[in-house]
Each structure stands twice: as C-alpha cells, then as structure tokens.
C-alpha cells in the first residue's frame, strides 16, 4: 500500500479535511489493484470518518470524509489490507480562531500592599475547544487597587500561554484585580492584601449612604494595608460605650478584640460648618495604649461637600488614623515634646505657650528625612518632627504641621503669615482644597513608633515641599484659609485589660 496524496496536510481542528487523502493498493510491479478489500479507520486524534471505502479503486482511493478531532495535533487513520503491512496516514489539526482567554497561573495570591506578588501572572489564549493559540498579544493591566503589572504586553508561546507578567499590588489594600486581554476577550486575576491587623468597622445611628460607606471601607483597607501585624487580644467585657460620650453610641460590650473595633456614623452634630467630625480611640490597651475601641462621627450637614469634591475618602482616612492612635495617644506614649496645650482637668485644655510641638518617634523621623524634609521639618535627632502648633486643642498637638508661622490668631488660633510645612500631607490639621492628600511613609512609620508592625509600601508618594514650592503653596493656602472646618479629637477614656475597665484621669484632677 502507498499513500498517494494528502498525508501531512493540515486543517483546523474539528473541521473536515478539504481534500481527502488517497492511497493505492498495488501489485509487486506497482500497478494499482482494484477491488481489494480494505478497511480504513481513525486511529488517533479523535476524528471521525464518513464514507470510508471497503474496496480499493483502480487508481488512488479516497479515504472518505475525514473530520479532524478537536484537539490540536496529529490525527491518524490506518488502512488495513489482509496480509499487508497497514498504512498509516497522518495529518495535523491546527487551533481554530481565538475564542477566549483564561487564567493559566498567578490567580488568588496574597501579598503586602505595594509589594510584588511572588508568582508571575500567565494567561492562555484558546480556541473554542481549549487549544492554545501561539503568537497572540496579551495585555496585562492592574484594574483595581492601584497596582501595576510589568511587562504590560506579552506574546503567547507555542502552547498559547503568555507568561511572566509581574504584578506589584497597589497601596490601597483590600482585594485587588488585574486583567489579561487578547483582542475582544479578557480574563481577570484577583489578589488579597495581607494584614494580620483586625479592623472591625461597625456603623451606628441612621443608615449611611453607600458612597459614605465605601469611603469608610476604603479607608479601613488602607489602614490594614499599612498596619499589618497582629496586636494583643484584649477582653472588652463590661466596656460601656456610653462612656465614650458620643451621641447615639450605647451598649455594653462582652467580647474580645484582636485588633480594633471602630464605630462609625454620620449624624447631626452642629449644622453646616463648625464641627465636621469627631474621632479617636475610646478604650485602649493597658501598657501598650494601642486602641481597642474607637469612634468616628461625621456631621451629616457637612460631608456632602467633601463627597462632591472627591475629598471625603481622604477625610475618612484622616479620622481613622486618629482612631488608630495618630495624634491621640502620642502624649500617652511619651512621643510628644513641647505640646501647645496641657489638660488641667479631664476636659479643660490650657495653652502652654509652646509654638513648637514635636513628635519624637525615630521611625517617622527617618521617613521625614527621606522625604526631603529639612532640619526645620524633621528636627535634629531627638528633637522630632514639627507638629501642628496652631488651632484649637486636638488640631494643635495632634497633626503634622501644616505651615510654619510665628503666630496663631483669632478664636480658632489659625496660623497667620505662614509658609507651608507638610502642607498637603493627609495628616496635617487642615483639609486641602483638592483630593490630592498623600498619606506619607512618615505617617505610616509613626504607627511603628506607637508599637504597631507596619508596611511602608502602603504609603503614597510624598515629598516635603521645597522652599520654592512653599512660596507658591503659601499663596494658594491663604486663598482658601477661610475654609477650615473644626475637628474634635477624642482622647482615650478607658483602659481595658487584665479583666478590668479603668477610667483614665488626665491632668491634675
Ligand atoms: Zn485630624
């Protein structure tokens, strides 16, 4: 037997071979013999054969109508004649048109916010039967969480797989996504950001709008992206929330926390203007002073303005920083020098005359210097980072310094005749006019100084303004100096731990 034509040809998987292969059965001299009993059958590749001959022709004999199998690769059929060596005819099935892209590997990983994931992303471009298609361009893109994927464009290999894209998670925390796209098809990868810091957000009071809730969820994700270590479990048995003295917050707890519980609400406080928010820890741990229960309450009359201007998320992140301890447990941790205020009783703040309060944490100081901070901003070793000196109790002593000034004027002690210090950083005491309020590595490092385990990769990029930009910022700031809502910072009221709830006495009772 001899193959005459068609052997070695190619066709798309699952389709009929356009020209059927032929063979002859010959005598010893090579003359084709008709009417010999033959049997033709598919022997590999999973195809089907219709109209296969049962006897040979006087010339080339067609094998019949051969539909190739759906898997790309070799398809064979075998012609058998009694007494002769069987004849095998092979053809190749090639992949069809691209019908989808699927994840090949790298899905559902987890890593620190801002860090590269270990396993590269790879995706396969396939036809309708799942055969990989070579030489297809695949675009990789981080689509949620603020990360990036590089390289962003890869070509599929012989198996149809584009691999080797490295995903660096964004600094947003939470669940993040990336997509791989080929032509009109795409697929997505998800990843979770690692954190062992448990933050339990609980809403109280009247129902919060979905956009306000989203801002809270996103802020909580950012906090958890930055504070990543587990802290001690503490019993809240008997903790009476009414002791926090926040409208609408009541109930007695009977549970443990391994992190922090944050009660959040949007409620009427004092109408448009004046107080925008009150926030801080209420119950803190013994010894470490790390907050166990805190509260954030916004004035419902004021938040829509911030939502409309895209600034609400930054404002919520700012308040959540306070609840976790920024500016609210500094004195308790002995990290504040030269405060502008002292408490002479539990509730009455008195000016000390200091216009140069300083945060003395070493980790934050190092980040202040690496953000191009000058000695004036960051201080020499041991003297600390410039803390807000103006404003009412809480604004002063509880934020990075917005601006350098020699005087604080008016009933709110606003800075006058000032030049920018940390300016747009989200943890300064004044809200910017635009949503660009970076959360710096300096702020995140300050949590390390408080005793948390942190991830500096969760920070936004931030540089301390240079003297040249300061002049420009100063003009811009003075233009919106009138828009200065008031924030009420809450200090810890109770210590929990050792099976007890103890009230904190401040000042000289
Ligand atoms: Zn604040």
Q: Residue 319 Cα, ligand 1 centroid: separation in angstroms?
A: 6
Q: Residue 313 Cα, ligand 1 centroid: separation in angstroms?
A: 14
Q: Residue 317 Cα, ligand 1 centroid: separation in angstroms?
A: 10
Q: Where are the domains of the chain?
A: 2-94, 100-193, 199-503
Q: Residue 398 Cα, ligand 1 centroid: separation in angstroms?
A: 7
d(CA 42, CA 21): 13
Per-residue pLDDT 10s for the chain (509 aa) are 999 999 999 999 999 999 999 999 999 998 999 999 999 999 999 999 999 999 999 999 999 999 999 999 999 999 999 999 999 999 999 999 999 999 999 999 999 999 999 999 999 999 999 999 999 999 999 999 999 999 999 999 999 999 999 999 999 999 999 999 999 999 999 999 999 999 999 999 999 999 999 999 999 999 999 999 999 999 999 999 999 999 999 999 999 999 999 999 999 999 988 889 999 999 999 999 999 999 999 999 999 989 999 999 999 999 999 999 999 999 999 999 999 999 877 778 899 999 999 999 999 999 999 999 988 899 866 689 999 999 888 889 999 998 888 788 777 787 776 677 898 899 998 888 888 899 999 999 999 999 999 999 999 999 998 765 665 555 555 544 445 678 999 999 999 998 899 999 876 54
* 16 Cβ contact list (under 8 Å, min separation 6): 65, 66, 67, 68
The 3-state DSSP class for residue 244 equals helix
Do 313 and 219 meet the contact criterion of CB atoms below 8 Å apart?
A: yes
- Kindly report the backbone phi and psi dihedral angles of residue 260, in degrees, each rounded to the nearest multiple of 5, phi listed first: -140, 145
Q: Residue 401 Cα, ligand 1 centroid: separation in angstroms?
A: 11
Q: Residue 277 Cα, ligand 1 centroid: separation in angstroms?
A: 9
Q: Residue 152 Cα, ligand 1 centroid: separation in angstroms?
A: 39
Which CATH class for the 100-193 domain? mainly beta
Please tell me what DSSP assigns to residue 471. H
Smallest CA-to-CA distance from 276 within 328, 318, 321 is with 318
Peptide bond between residue 82 and the one before it cis (omega within 30 degrees of 0)? no
Q: Residue 143 Cα, ligand 1 centroid: separation in angstroms?
A: 31
Q: What is the DSSP string of 191-230?
A: EEE-----EEEEE-SSPPPHHHHHHHHHHHHHHHHHB-S-
Q: Residue 166 Cα, ligand 1 centroid: separation in angstroms?
A: 37
Q: Residue 5 Cα, ligand 1 centroid: separation in angstroms?
A: 83
Predicted TM-score of the model (pTM): 0.88
Q: Residue 274 Cα, ligand 1 centroid: separation in angstroms?
A: 14
The 3-state DSSP class for residue 161 equals strand
Smallest CA-to-CA distance from 169 within 104, 218, 118 is with 118
d(CA 71, CA 127): 10
Do 221 and 201 meet the contact criterion of CB atoms below 8 Å apart?
A: no
Q: Residue 315 Cα, ligand 1 centroid: separation in angstroms?
A: 9
Q: Where are the alpha helices (DSSP H) in 258-361?
A: 303-308, 312-324
Q: Residue 388 Cα, ligand 1 centroid: separation in angstroms?
A: 10
Please tell me what DSSP assigns to residue 415. E
Fold equal for 2-94 and 100-193: yes
d(CA 416, CA 411): 12
Q: Residue 311 Cα, ligand 1 centroid: separation in angstroms?
A: 14
Fold of 2-94: Immunoglobulin-like (2.60.40)
Residue tagged 């089907």 (tokens): 48
């Amino acid at each position: 037997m001899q193959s005459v034509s068609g052997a070695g040809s190619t066709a798309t998987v699952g389709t009929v071979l356009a020209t059927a292969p032929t063979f002859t059965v010959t005598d010893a001299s090579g003359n084709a013999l008709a009417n010999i009993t033959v049997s033709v059958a598919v022997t590999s590749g999973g195809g089907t054969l219709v109209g296969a001959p049962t006897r040979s022709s006087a010339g080339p004999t067609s094998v019949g109508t051969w539909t190739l199998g759906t898997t790309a690769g070799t398809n064979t059929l075998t012609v058998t004649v009694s007494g002769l060596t069987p004849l095998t005819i092979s053809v190749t099935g090639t992949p069809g048109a691209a019908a989808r892209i699927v994840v090949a590997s790298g899905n559902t990983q987890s890593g620190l916010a801002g860090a590269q994931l270990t396993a590269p992303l790879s995706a396969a471009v396939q036809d309708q039967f799942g055969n990989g298609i070579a030489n297809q361009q695949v675009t990789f893109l981080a689509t949620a969480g603020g990360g990036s994927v590089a390289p962003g464009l890869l070509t599929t290999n012989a198996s149809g797989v584009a691999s080797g894209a490295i995903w660096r998670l964004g600094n947003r925390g939470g669940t993040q996504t990336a997509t791989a796209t080929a032509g009109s098809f795409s697929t997505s990868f998800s990843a979770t950001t690692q954190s062992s810091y448990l933050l339990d957000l609980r809403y109280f009071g009247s129902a919060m709008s979905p956009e306000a809730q989203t801002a809270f969820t996103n802020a909580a994700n950012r906090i958890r992206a930055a504070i990543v270590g587990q802290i001690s479990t503490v019993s809240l048995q008997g903790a009476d929330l009414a002791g926090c003295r926040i409208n609408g917050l009541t109930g007695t707890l009977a549970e443990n926390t391994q992190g922090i519980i944050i009660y959040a609400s949007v409620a009427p406080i004092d109408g448009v203007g004046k107080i925008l928010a009150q926030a801080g820890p209420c119950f803190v741990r013994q010894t470490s002073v790390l907050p166990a229960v805190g509260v954030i309450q916004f004035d419902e009359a004021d938040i829509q303005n911030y939502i409309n201007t895209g600034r609400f998320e930054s404002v919520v992140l700012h308040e959540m920083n306070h609840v976790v301890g920024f500016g609210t447990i500094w004195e308790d941790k002995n990290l504040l020098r030269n405060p502008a205020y002292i408490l002479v009783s539990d509730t009455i703040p008195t000016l000390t005359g200091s216009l140069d309060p300083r945060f003395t944490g070493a980790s934050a100081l190092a980040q202040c210097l690496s953000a191009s901070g000058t000695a004036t901003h960051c201080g020499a070793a041991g003297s600390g980072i410039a803390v807000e000196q103006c404003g009412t109790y809480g604004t002063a002593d509880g934020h990075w310094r917005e601006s350098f000034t020699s005087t604080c004027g008016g009933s709110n002690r606003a800075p006058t005749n000032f030049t920018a210090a940390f300016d747009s950083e989200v943890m300064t005491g004044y809200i910017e006019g635009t949503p660009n309020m970076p959360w710096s590595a300096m702020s995140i490092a300050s949590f390390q100084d408080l005793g948390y385990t942190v991830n500096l990769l969760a920070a936004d990029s931030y540089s301390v303004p240079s003297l040249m930009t300061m002049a420009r910022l100063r003009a811009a700031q003075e233009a919106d100096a009138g828009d200065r809502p008031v924030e009420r910072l809450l200090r810890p009221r109770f210590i929990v731990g050792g099976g007890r709830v103890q009230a904190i006495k401040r000042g000289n009772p």
